[in-house]
Chains A and B, each alone.
Chain A
């Protein structure tokens, strides 16, 4: 049995993996270590966790526009998330996902996605399948 959710495509591509859900926004510049994919922002709900290969689910991006380049760096190093799901996208994450070719969808009710759930993302059509 699976549930389908429809959002808006931001950056194309397909991915499958385990959801990592954050209730807080993420700043990739200063908030995530590109070498390891580890969240290093002090006090962040994901602090100490590694986003690599995850379907990373969070409300929206924050912080410096340099964050777009950090996502690109992570993709090149192989530490990037497999896909990004936002409630409401902003420019830093949108541009970062596009230049890095990380599948990205927004306008999703992220409260419905449980941490650790298996998720299939089709960012070409903007659909998520919760497996």
Chain B
């Protein structure tokens, strides 16, 4: 890989230890994946924030980098293992809370914006169409590439942090236009309308085409919320970093040679597979974190009602602040539902506390099952609220 004289200095430690270590990571990845150079990134999104996943090891690494590391571009964080302000109310232990706070403190010391969310694009990490970024969090990567027209590989926590501390990433994969073309057409004949429909569509396509870049046809309309859910699902069940949706997403692509079909039975099959719970004791809404529109709708549905089970409303804290200002928070909390900012039901350590999770998120089902051993029910937000207030 060709390095500039400044980049060589960074690699040799002239900009400090954190920059040296970060450059070693980026140069090694660049060499492995055949990058010719490093390129500047407009922003970074870092995953690997929950202490539940990081452990002492991750915390030790972050603390070491925080000794002399400072971010060079706008950098935001993925969800943590708890609500950073309201953790007690969500049943998190003081021991876990103390460790999670140390993780956040290390990021803060490096200048990372310590709002913890999987929807950085809702809180101001929103570069312009076509810019290169270095994002982790598979749903946000997919949304960035496909919906916003940004260019990013699927980064892991350490490589995204390395980009934050240097402002750079190696140029390979999704950064190159030749890798952003559709590889397979997906003809959808099923009727896709609701958020769970889009989640089931992501599941069905992901299982069929894996990491290939699809050109999806036959979708009449999709808003921000539907696309957010679709991105989370197709990235979880398939692993693609990018898709094209005819008439909806902004990137250009040539017509691929191969194609597959998705029929109503594929969608019904996906929904059936995601429903295996008989008994629900936790309703989790907001995977990925809710948009402002969704929070306002949830408030309207809960107005004057009481919930009869644990209900978590997962959002980025800035969205909650707007909800506070608009009175939505009072309505939601008066119903007995709880806000879970900075976290969600998939990353919080909830194993053993609940058995059945009901959610509108196909991704939430996957991680609820894998990490927290939940059984799951998959339905729309109005159906979930109806069940929780019956």
Which A residues lie at the B interface, using CB under 8 A?
8, 10-11, 34, 64-66, 68-70, 72-74, 76, 89, 91-92, 94-95, 98-99, 106
Contacts and interface: CB of A to CB of B under 8 A. Distances in A.
Contact of A95 (B29, B47, B60): B29
Indicate the member of A8, A69, A106 with the most B CB atoms within 10 Å: A69
Interface string B268-304: 0000000000000000000000000000000000000
A99 B64 CA distance: 11
Given A65-B47, A66-B48, A72 B61 contact: yes
29 contacts: A8-B32, A65-B47, A65-B48, A65-B156, A65-B158, A66-B48, A68-B156, A68-B157, A69-B55, A69-B58, A69-B157, A72-B58, A73-B57, A73-B58, A74-B57, A91-B29, A91-B32, A92-B156, A94-B28, A94-B29, A94-B32, A95-B156, A95-B158, A95-B159, A98-B25, A99-B21, A99-B25, A99-B61, A106-B32
Contacts of B57: 34, 69-70, 72-74, 76
Contacts of A99: 21, 25, 61, 158
Q: Is the interface of A mostly helix, strand, loop or mixed?
A: helix
B54 interface: yes
Contacts of A73: 55-58, 60
Given A65-B48, A72-B61, A89 B156 contact: no
B334 interface: no
Contacts of B61: 69, 72, 99
Given A76-B57, A99-B21, A99-B61, A69 B158 contact: yes
A64 B367 CA distance: 13
Interface of B: 21, 24-25, 28-29, 31-32, 47-48, 53-58, 60-61, 136, 156-159
Contacts, number: 68
A65 B78 CA distance: 14
Given A69-B55, A94-B32, 10 more contacts: A64-B53, A65-B156, A66-B58, A69-B48, A69-B158, A72-B58, A73-B60, A95-B156, A98-B25, A99-B158
A10 B57 CA distance: 21
Indicate the member of A8, A68, A89 with the most B CB atoms within 10 Å: A68
Nearest to B61: A72
Contacts of B157: 65-66, 68-69
Contacts of A98: 21, 24-25, 28
B23 to A, nearest CB: 10
Contacts of B29: 91, 94-95
A111 to B, nearest CB: 21
A70 B61 CA distance: 10
Given A73-B55, A76-B60, A68 B158 contact: yes
Contacts of A69: 48, 54-55, 57-58, 61, 157-158
Nearest to B33: A91
Contacts of B54: 66, 69
Nearest to B54: A69
B311 to A, nearest CB: 29
Given A72-B60, A76-B57, A65 B25 contact: no
A74 B31 CA distance: 26
